Amino acid sequence: MTEEPQPADSTRTRRSRLTSAHRAWFVASVTFVTIIGAAAFRSLPGLLIDPLHQEFHWSRGTIGAAVSINLVFYGITAPFAAALMDRFGIRRIVAVALAVIGLGSGATVWMTSAWQLLLCWGLLVGLGTGSMALTFAATVTNRWFTERRGLVSGILTAASASGQLIFLPVLSWMVENHGWRPAAVTVALASFAVIPFAWLLLRDHPADVGVKPYGAQEFVPRPDPVPGAARRALAVLLAAGRTGPFWLLAGTFAICGASTNGLVQTHFVPAAHDHGMPVTAAASLLAVVGVFDVLGTITSGWFTDRYEPRRLLAVYYALRGLSLLFLPVLLAPTVHPPMIFFIVFYGLDWVATVPPTLALCREQYGEDSAIVFGWVFASHQVGAALVAFLGGVARDTFGSYDVVWYASGALCAAAALMALVIRRRPVRVPAPA
């Protein structure tokens, strides 16, 4: 039987979809690699607390303050970076951000005073990494995909964990055998190396290459640049701040940051070292967290495309809080099976919260969701900053981190309850003037 010829329009439609799909996944892959390069610095803070304390005799609270400044700027820069990407394009903002990360990290090798640590490690790297934060992933996802957004956001979120996986064992070996300065230089070089890659291969919008967003039925023209990026970011914040879901999302994500970047990423290595575990062994455990974080986040994105995101968040936070309550009794001089189980479990849950949080932002705030998510992410970093600082103070005061583990576990239980009460009805945010 002869196959009936297909209409030309149908053939062109399928070809357009195929081209769009391939190009969208290519851009997502470039974004993934770019985030990995910027994520090198996220591996470093926990490794440098003890070396900086020993060389400069700075208190852990002072070093924790630098981490806190970094995390705060990492957070508050994100919504402005999202608005700037709408104004100047993704490539330009990403290139500048990578250059600032490299400059800030490289300059630390000449520091002699604590204020220089606060400036380079806190301010400069905070601004750079904030511009490369999850709002970058959210912007790429929103522009290039109308389908599979949960999966894509999970993959791009996992890029940060992949960066930690790649760099953490290498950086910990450098710190242990050659000091902290070569590790800082490595981070700077990694950031500079990614700049030409991102500039040449990233594209700002599907219309730039004449294709549709993945899954779209119609061609989407490139929007005009949005002037007044700072004003727009603040206007969206004021509008979203008048709605209850925003504060619930911000509160849960603040607890997410407190229990991951602020607590485990910053203080796990020194806490394990307090119990006699070698730094390289503790850093390797964090690298394993990165391995399973990739799996957990991508799986969470797949779940988010299929299940209710509020319930997913509640389950993630409840399980995370439960695991933190057991951590103090698991820390020991050697790695044992219960500790490995904790690391695997915590890795699966590390940033699994991101895809459902992004989905709820899109559901509630529509076209402004990337900027709203930027402000929600800012709360994530404020929570992380507080615990990064208070964790160091608690260690100086009590001689251990136990009280911080228990407090964070209780906060995660509160986050689980907050996630369940986020209302389902979409909230329409008025367009900024």
Q: Domain with 171 in it: what CATH number? A: 1.20.1250.20
Residue 108 is part of which domain span? Answer: 15-207+228-420
* Stated pTM of the model: 0.69
Asked if residue 411 is part of any domain, the answer here is yes
291-326 residues labelled b (16+ CB within 10 A) or e (exposed): bbbbbbbbbbbbbbbeeebbebbbbbbbbbbebbee
Give which of 293, 121, 298, 143 is closest to 213, Cα–Cα: 143
pLDDT computed for residue 421 by the predictor: 92
Residue 3 lies in a domain: no
* CA max distance for the chain: 84
Residue 433 lies in a domain: no
| Token pair 């690298």 in the structure block, residue | 287
Phi, psi for 214 (deg, rounded to 5) = -60, 125
**402 occurs within a structural domain:** yes
Distance separating alpha carbons of residues 225 and 11, to the nearest angstrom: 34
Q: Which residue has the tokens 């100047």?
A: 88
List of the chain residues with pLDDT < 70: 1-22, 40-43, 45-46, 133, 161-162, 164-165, 226-227, 229, 425-433
On whether residue 432 sits in a domain, the answer given is no
Of 396, 11, 37, 1, give the one whose Cα is nearest residue 196. Answer: 37
Q: Is residue 262 in some structural domain?
A: yes
**Which pLDDT belongs to residue 20?**
41
Q: Which residue type occupies 373?
A: F
Count of domains for the chain = 1
Question: For residue 148, is it left (φ>0), alpha (ψ between -120 and 50) or beta?
Answer: left
In a domain, 179, yes or no: yes
Residue 213 lies in a domain: no
Contact 126, 75 (CB under 8 A): no
pLDDT at residue 428, as a whole number: 52
